[in-house]
Amino acid sequence: PMRTRLTHRTNRESDAIMRIGHINLARSINGTGEHIIALVEALDRQGVKQHVIVRNDDLAKRLRIYDNVVVGPTTSAAVVAYCLMPAVDVAHTHESSGAQAGLLLNLTRSIPYVLSHRPGGNPDQNSITRSVYERASGIICPTDAGARALAGKLTREPIDVINDIGRAGSDDFERTANRAAALHMRVYQRAADTHSIPALLL
């Protein structure tokens, strides 16, 4: 079914809307990819400009249909994703390899990044991963259990619990997705407002 998008905005409203970058270097779409599609779609309905770097070709094709979304060339490398990402207000990294690209964006271009932490990983396994979590300007967990497991480790930033957006079993998918998008925007805005780490020359 066709969905109505917000396309008529004044220049002042458009200027106030943040530009968000998404990075997901997972090989398959899986549940995370479906969540990203729903999030990008919901943000697009609100007129948010987005730039997306992904690894999976099918995921890229599904994201290209949205009005305010630019999808860059697909890549599996964090360094390439970093190079391909244009100037954005906040980057949202959706898995561990993408989070390394977020770290590079932060260190060299002072772009704040938010990362999604999914239960089951061990975020303190090496120095790079520790740096990824320590320098993140926000962390989003899809479950309370994941947030509790991470609390007090590696980051002083708040951990926000925002459920993944799923179409299956949703009686009102669009409303649920819009609410999740609004919660994400709150995290993005906080990351942009509180970010003060200067760019470092590597």
Model-level pTM? 0.86
pLDDT band at 163 (very low <50, low <70, confident <90, very high): very high
Backbone angles phi, psi at 159, to 5 degrees: -110, 120
Q: Summarize pLDDT for 142-157 with one digit per residue, the tens.
A: 999 888 888 877 777 7
Could you please report the per-residue DSSP string of 32-70? HHHHHHHHHHHHHHTT-EEEEEES-HHHHHHHTTSTTEE
Q: Whole-angstrom Cα distance, residue 200 to residue 202?
A: 6
Q: What is the pLDDT of residue 16?
A: 58
pLDDT band at 117 (very low <50, low <70, confident <90, very high): very high
Q: Which of 140, 122, 146, 129 is nearest to 191 (CA)?
A: 140
Q: Summarize pLDDT for 36-51 with one digit per residue, the tens.
A: 999 999 999 999 999 9
Most confident of 14-28, 76-90, 147-161: 76-90
**Identity (one letter) of the amino acid at 86?**
P
Q: Are 29 and 166 in contact (CB under 8 A)?
A: no
Question: What's the token pair of residue 1?
Answer: 């079914």
